[in-house]
A and B are shown apart, each in its own frame.
Chain A
Amino acid sequence: MKKTAFLGALTVASIAASAAVAQDVSTVDQIKERGKLNCGVTTGLVGFAAPDANGTWNGFDVGVCRAVAAAVLGDANAVEFVPTTGKTRFTALASGEIDMLARNTTWTFSRDVDLKFEFVGVNYYDGQGFMVSKDLGASSAKELDGATVCIQTGTTTELNLADFFRANDMSYEPVPIETNAEAQQQYLAGACDVYTTDASGLAATRATFEDPAGHVLLPEIISKEPLGPLVRHGDNNWGDVVRWTLNALVSAEELGVTSANIGELGASAGDNPEINRLLGTEGNLGEMLGLDAEWAKRAIMAGGNYGELFAKNIGEDTPIALARGLNAQWTEGGLLYSPPFR
């Protein structure tokens, strides 16, 4: 009996000890030792994360992962992309299987506080919108009384939809669907008049139609969906690294630093002190973060600044053709506002 108790105590102690050891090593050190950043992404979302035919991941969220990997490890390709589903993403992050999650995840109170995660910022301001066929003749979501609506079950969009119709004293008939692919088929087959999901998703869906001009996105956006990368509680320094990497991408656009001119601007200290501090030619911001001086320079070189990432993956020149809208810099009427690098 005594012996069993002793063995049990030993096991508990050793597990606790190994846990303590694991927690003492900072996330940055773990990543450096591993040589790879484990970044959780979606299993596939147009424009945000998708593997190409060679298996290389591309997209807007993927760009954030690559920037962080470039800042910490100096190699934008040193990322292990871990595909996560809506059901597995939070446990994957909480259990340490991934170091950060960049998976178009809406920043909400309960996720931030109750699930013990830290949203480090917002990389895309999304919102729920409506798409209807032009033949329906609706020009506003307020005219949708009595419509059949294709809606993904078990998401916040379902609740938002109910709230919106109730607030406007209208009725609707939901057509529950499971995936975006199914929604496209149902909507095109005429099973529903309206398809509602995040506006970025609607734009991507419409771009695949044979006749995109035959469908309109209604002007109403009925919810706030700030999507951003997140890390788990417990390692604030790692949270800072991810937060300021994202901020560096945003600031770079604001300051006019692009992947084209960064070599020139970063070679030596220039006239603009903020650019100098950002690119490490002045001051010791990198050192404060526990990285070297050129961390932000590498992050920006990985895929360009925020504007370049946006334009390349989801911007107006891509088939998805999203306008900057809320995601423009604050100087241009948007919400992107990076705290100063000082």
Chain B
Amino acid sequence: MSDMSYVRSEMLPERAPPASSVGFVGWMRQNLFNGIVNSILTIVSLVLIAMVAMAIVPWIFSPTWNGTSQNDCREIIGAGHHAACWGVINDRWEQLLFGFYPNGTEGDTTDQRWRPIVAFALLFVAVTPVLFSMISRRMNWVLLLAVLGLTGLYLGGAAGMILGLALLAGAAFVGFKALSTDKDARAAEIEAGAKRLPNPLIFSAIFPFIAPWLLWGGSIWLPVGAALGFVIGYFAYSILSKIVGSLAGIILAVVASIVWWLFLTGGFASLMDAILPIGLEPVESRKFGGFMLSITIGVVAIACSLPIGIVLALGRQSDLMIVKALCVGFIEFIRGVPLITLLFVASTLLNIFMPPGTNFDIILRVLIMVTLFASAYMAEVIRGGLAALPRGQYEAADALGLDYWKAQRLIIMPQALKISIPGIVSTFIGVFKDTVLVSIIGLLDPLGLSNAIRADQAWNGLVWELYGFIALLFFVFCFSMSRYSMYLERRLRTDHR
């Protein structure tokens, strides 16, 4: 009796799952044909998808890339068929990207379109250390050197060639060294006292002065003068704060910078220009158009609205009555008014208020208005993040003896911003898409240009091709932003889910 048992004493060996529940078939059974209703739904959906695809795919794949006009496209396609006329994109894609930026076809101008391209590439280099942690300090310098080197090569001429090759060689050298040592070895080297490359954030700080110079051109000494204002402010603060105290130091430093910008920058720029004239051919704002215009407005509004929004959100929660009233008033006023109204104010009303002959750049006006608009929304998004923080966090900061700014910087903001990332990025995406509203005030952004392109009799009546192309480019930008926000959320996730 003792060797009898009711329970198996040894484990059965594992067996492969049945064929119907693994692999493709298993996946289909589980996800598509899971019961009668789901099977019917799956089949209906597939038929629908197939019908839509059968209508759209032949329309998209039409051999009209070289069509010269709508009628030419019709001849290529043949009578009775409906298909896209991609000739319009072939003819006008440069215009849709760059607007009227000088392309060398007009009399005494040369092709300047490398400038927005370089500005865009440098933008990526400048934001990389801010946005991503996965790229090493040295790789960032490799990127910068490579962009500058390629620019030098493109510009040509003996100096450009030599400089470009030198920069590319530098990039290759640093890149090779960066790839040949792994992270731990490099950390050990730095531990042992090896010299690190300067922080790439230096370039990110310089970029805001380079980009306008590249886009608008003119003397290099004006952006240099503008940057010097910050340097002057910094030195004024570091010297004066020791003498007259911190607050008075800040105020005096700001005054010094403003005096420099208002009264001395112009003189400095023209003086330096007389000594050493370096500059790019100036390009008027009117020449901006297409995606270049959208990206310029979008990037400036995005970059400026975040800091302004943080300040406004803090101001709205402040205990200081006037600061609070100002912030609440600003936010509520801007949010209570449609963006189009603000744009009309920028384009028409300001002109009437200002004395005749004043030339206040139209793009600058639009930039200011869009930035203010985005800031008000941003402030509310960040306020949501602040409100979501438990009271204990503020009290903990106080208990640690941190002052207001330190508490914000070290404890409150990192958490509040992390909570608000999805909201912040949606606001960014919204602002970027809102830039097409400038077509209402006569600026030729992609949508405005699509109308201007249809005004060419050769392309009159083409709608889907142009809108499709514009939608595709917008989708690329907005989808990347959305993916980035998800990456950022994953990276900053500190809870252990």
Chain B positions 426-482 with a Cβ under 8 Å from a chain A Cβ: 439-444, 448, 451-457, 460-461, 463
In-complex Cβ contact of A184 among B286, B357, B461 (8 A): B461
In-complex Cβ contact of B106 among A45, A56, A180 (8 A): A56
Complex Cα distance A274/B412, Å? 83
Who on chain A is nearest to B105 by CB?
A: A54
Complex Cα distance A204/B457, Å? 7
B221 within 8 A of A: no
Q: Which residues of A contact B91 (CB under 8 A)?
A: 53
Complex Cα distance A170/B451, Å? 34
A181 within 8 A of B: yes
Q: Which residues of A contact B106 (CB under 8 A)?
A: 54-56, 77
Who on chain B is nearest to A30 by CB?
A: B357
Complex Cα distance A50/B453, Å? 7
Q: Which residues of B contact A319 (CB under 8 A)?
A: 457
- Please report the total number of A residues contacting B with Cβ < 8 Å: 50
A319-330 to B contact mask, C-beta < 8 Å, 1/0: 110000000000
> A88 and B441: CB pair below 8 A?
yes
Q: Which residues of A contact B439 (CB under 8 A)?
A: 43
Q: Which residues of B contact A43 (CB under 8 A)?
A: 439, 442, 444, 448, 451-452, 455
Given the contacts A44-B455, A55-B103, A95 and B444 also touching, CB distance less than 8 Å: no
> B457 and A208: CB pair below 8 A?
yes
> A87 and B451: CB pair below 8 A?
no
Who on chain B is nearest to A40 by CB?
A: B442
- Minimal beta-carbon separation of A237 from chain B (angstroms): 17
> B286 and A82: CB pair below 8 A?
yes
> B441 and A45: CB pair below 8 A?
no
B70 within 8 A of A: yes
Given the contacts A22-B355, A85-B441, A181 and B451 also touching, CB distance less than 8 Å: yes
Complex Cα distance A185/B460, Å? 11
> A23 and B356: CB pair below 8 A?
yes
> A88 and B347: CB pair below 8 A?
yes
A139 within 8 A of B: no
> A50 and B442: CB pair below 8 A?
no
> A85 and B457: CB pair below 8 A?
no
B348 within 8 A of A: yes
> A83 and B442: CB pair below 8 A?
yes
Q: Which residues of A contact B352 (CB under 8 A)?
A: 91, 94-95
A114 within 8 A of B: no
> A83 and B448: CB pair below 8 A?
yes
Q: Which residues of B contact A179 (CB under 8 A)?
A: 451
> A44 and B453: CB pair below 8 A?
yes
Q: Which residues of A contact B351 (CB under 8 A)?
A: 91-92, 95-97
> B460 and A205: CB pair below 8 A?
yes
Given the contacts A18-B355, A23-B356, A55-B105, A84 and B442 also touching, CB distance less than 8 Å: yes
Q: Which residues of B contact A77 (CB under 8 A)?
A: 106-107
Who on chain B is nearest to A75 by CB?
A: B107
Q: Which residues of B contact A19 (CB under 8 A)?
A: 355-357
A32-57 to B contact mask, C-beta < 8 Å, 1/0: 00000000001111110111111110
Complex Cα distance A85/B105, Å? 26
- Minimal beta-carbon separation of B68 from chain A (angstroms): 11
B137 within 8 A of A: no
Q: Which residues of A contact B348 (CB under 8 A)?
A: 88, 91-92, 95
A80 within 8 A of B: yes
Q: Which residues of B contact A83 (CB under 8 A)?
A: 442-444, 448, 452
> B457 and A320: CB pair below 8 A?
yes
Complex Cα distance A3/B351, Å? 29
Complex Cα distance A115/B316, Å? 44
- Minimal beta-carbon separation of A86 from chain B (angstroms): 10
Q: Which residues of A contact B284 (CB under 8 A)?
A: 80
Given the contacts A179-B451, A210-B74, A56 and B105 also touching, CB distance less than 8 Å: yes
- Please report the total number of B residues contacting A with Cβ < 8 Å: 41
> B457 and A51: CB pair below 8 A?
no
> A208 and B100: CB pair below 8 A?
no
B95 within 8 A of A: yes
Chain B positions 403-444 with a Cβ under 8 Å from a chain A Cβ: 439-444
> B451 and A51: CB pair below 8 A?
no
Q: Which residues of B contact A46 (CB under 8 A)?
A: 454-457, 460
Who on chain B is nearest to A54 by CB?
A: B105
Who on chain B is nearest to A21 by CB?
A: B357
Q: Which residues of B contact A180 (CB under 8 A)?
A: 454
A236 within 8 A of B: no
A15 within 8 A of B: yes
Chain A positions 165-183 with a Cβ under 8 Å from a chain B Cβ: 179-181
- Minimal beta-carbon separation of B254 from chain A (angstroms): 21
Q: Which residues of A contact B103 (CB under 8 A)?
A: 54-55
B92 within 8 A of A: yes
Given the contacts A43-B448, A207-B460, A208-B70, A53 and B356 also touching, CB distance less than 8 Å: no
Chain A positions 312-337 with a Cβ under 8 Å from a chain B Cβ: 318-320
Q: Which residues of B contact A87 (CB under 8 A)?
A: 344, 440-441
Q: Which residues of A contact B455 (CB under 8 A)?
A: 42-46, 49-51, 59
- Minimal beta-carbon separation of B200 from chain A (angstroms): 36
Q: Which residues of B contact A92 (CB under 8 A)?
A: 348, 351, 442
Q: Which residues of B contact A95 (CB under 8 A)?
A: 348, 351-352, 356
Complex Cα distance A87/B105, Å? 31
Q: Which residues of A contact B74 (CB under 8 A)?
A: 210
Most buried by A among B95, B443, B456, B463: B456
Who on chain A is nearest to B353 by CB?
A: A95
Who on chain B is nearest to A211 by CB?
A: B79
- Minimal beta-carbon separation of A203 from chain B (angstroms): 11
Complex Cα distance A232/B100, Å? 28
Complex Cα distance A222/B355, Å? 43
Q: Which residues of A contact B (CB under 8 A)?
A: 15, 18-19, 21-23, 30, 42-47, 49-56, 59, 77, 80, 82-85, 87-88, 91-92, 94-97, 179-181, 184-185, 204-205, 207-210, 318-320
Chain A to chain B: the 3 pairs with minimum beta-carbon distance, closest first:
A44-B455, A95-B351, A50-B455
Add 6 more A-B contacts to A44-B453, A205-B461 (CB < 8 A).
A15-B355, A46-B455, A92-B351, A92-B442, A207-B457, A320-B457
Residue pairs across A and B with Cβ atoms less than 8 A apart, 11 shown, are A22-B357, A46-B454, A51-B452, A83-B442, A87-B344, A92-B442, A181-B451, A204-B460, A208-B460, A318-B457, A319-B457
